[in-house]
Structure 1
Amino acid sequence: MIKFDKVVKRFGANTVLNELDFHVKPRERVTLIGPSGSGKTTILRLLMTLEKVTSGTIQVNGDYLSHMRRGGDKLVPADEKHLRQVRKKIGMVFQQFNLFPNMNVLRNITEAPVRALGKPRAEAEKRGMELLEMVGLADKADQHPSRLSGGQQQRVAIARALAMEPEILLLDEVTSALDPELVAGVQSLLIEIARNSDLTILCVTHEMHFARDISNRVLMFDQGQIVEEGPPDQIFGEPSEQRTRDFLQAVLSA
């Protein structure tokens, strides 16, 4: 579903990803862990086309994301039209909720399906209410984001991402901006969504218990490279690499 082939990403002289080979299978749930600055969020930003690769290629469900074909098999950097088309397969929930403050909750969820997918507004609103019911906020449809708690706003952001009917859901530190008492509820919701859907999920988190519960596979990142990967029980129970052991000891004892 996701394939990085020798992807390099530099910011000036700083190489964040260094010839990264990386894949996620359909319906797999993969979590990226590692120290800040190791390149984890850059992977998500490349998939959302918020950043461009320096070199290498990215494919999503067999289609090139970073490039497109021209004149047969020649690959050239993707133009905006191509990026928009492939990006429709991907939804993302950010650290910050990024809701539209001038729109009520329901319209926050329905605006993109109407404008980007061409859905009739009545159909989008019906689906929007179903999603609000799923995230426990059906009674907040007419409220504006400023009237909601942080946890409620993040639930709206999750519903908004799902309203675009993505094949891939990206989660970027989705509970890091929440008060501690709100974290467990949002994490439980995401774990339930993950287990009861066919979504391919790629998650970045510093919450190790959440990583263990939501993932089929965990990847330890450091300095733009995969240090170690495996099922959660192996990574958190018996990591083989000293760098992974050091990181987990530091995070879990904090």
Structure 2
Amino acid sequence: MAAEISAGSPPMVRFERVVKRFGDLEVLRGLDFEVRRGERVTLIGPSGSGKTTILRLLMTLERVTSGTIEVDGECLSHVRRRGRLVPADERHLRRIRRKIGMVFQQFNLFANMNVLRNLTEAPVRALGLPREQAEARARELLEMVGLADKALEHPSRLSGGQQQRVAIARALAMEPEVLLLDEVTSALDPELVAGVLDLLRDIARSGDLTVLCVTHEMRFARDVSHRVLMFDHGRIIEDGPPEQIFSDPAHPRTRAFLQAVLDA
């Protein structure tokens, strides 16, 4: 059971009237929601309901069609000039993006770099950390994820579960305030899933990270989340604590989705 978050905690992430279209396809439809600082929120729902698009918008891999996204009180993709919101430049995007780390479905490790360089390259280049300091932090993270002995290996010599652990450590090496998790076990063999989820449980419950997670692992969602949001066709149709969502969902679409997922 997740510890309670104070009702007075400020929002770390805020979506306001966010619309996202790809051509004629409207993926997000006037989306409004907040995630408070230190809160762990899981997004569930069928494929194509807009969950991963939310994470990609936060990483600025996509831009909103309309509406605004705020991170830590600052507008993400726009800035205010002379009383008007205008698209932000790359410098602004990079500064806000430094607060956010993401672990993708695919591991996205640099094949030409060993594990240690995978963890240190961004902190050195983007954060300006001295290489010795970045390497010390990287080795601490590799110890935490159980891969201290793999620092000099290349990703091709690691199993899928080990590569995902490296990807998690790499996201944490940037010391993000918000951690995004996008179906991080979907590319793993079933026998590797439990170990990665156990690691993520420990990470999610430690410190004051704000976590936004997309997953079909319902037990994981129940264990780590303060809130669960059920998405369907680009809208939130149910929002509540995991014990309510999983034990007594109010919306018939939520009940049907959970029955299909849990019986699979």
Range of TM-score over shorter length: over 0.9
Shift of 1:79: 1.4
Matched, 1:160 2:166: no
Amino acid at match of 2:92: H
Matched, 1:49 2:60: yes
In structure 2, the partner of 1:66 is 77
Shift of 1:22: 1.0
Q: In the alignment, which of 35, 38, 45 is matched to residue 34 of structure 1?
A: 45
Tell me the distance in 1 between the aligned counterparts of 2:226 and 2:187: 25
In structure 1, the partner of 2:225 is 215
In structure 2, the partner of 1:90 is 100
Q: In the alignment, which of 233, 256, 263 is matched to residue 246 of structure 1?
A: 256
Shift of 1:32: 0.1
TM-score (norm 2): 0.95
In structure 2, the partner of 1:136 is 146
Shift of 1:253: 0.7
Q: In the alignment, which of 156, 159, 166 is matched to residue 149 of structure 1?
A: 159
Shift of 1:6: 0.1
Q: In the alignment, which of 12, 17, 32 is matched to residue 6 of structure 1?
A: 17
In structure 2, the partner of 1:226 is 236
Shift of 1:80: 1.1
Q: In the alignment, which of 111, 117, 124 is matched to residue 121 of structure 2?
A: 111
In structure 1, the partner of 2:8 is none
Shift of 1:187: 0.3
Which structure 1 residue ranges, 4+ long, deviate > 2 Å from structure 2? none
Tell me the distance in 2 between the aligned counterparts of 1:7 and 1:141: 41
Matched, 1:186 2:202: no
Tell me the distance in 2 between the aligned counterparts of 1:203 and 1:78: 26
- Which ranges in structure 2 are unaligned for 5 or more consecutive residues? 1-11
Tell me the distance in 2 between the aligned counterparts of 1:70 and 1:160: 35
CA RMSD after TM alignment: 0.6
Q: Residue 177 of structure 1 aligns to a residue in which SS? A: coil
Tell me the distance in 2 between the aligned counterparts of 1:154 and 1:214: 19
Tell me the distance in 2 between the aligned counterparts of 1:141 and 1:46: 32
Tell me the distance in 1 between the aligned counterparts of 2:221 and 2:256: 17
Q: Residue 212 of structure 2 aligns to a residue in which SS? A: strand
TM-score (norm 1): 0.99
- Which ranges in structure 1 are unaligned for 5 or more consecutive residues? none
Tell me the distance in 2 between the aligned counterparts of 1:22 and 1:232: 17
Tell me the distance in 2 between the aligned counterparts of 1:152 and 1:214: 22
Tell me the distance in 2 between the aligned counterparts of 1:213 and 1:241: 21
Q: Which moved more, 1:206-215 or 1:238-247?
A: 206-215
Tell me the distance in 1 between the aligned counterparts of 2:149 and 2:223: 29
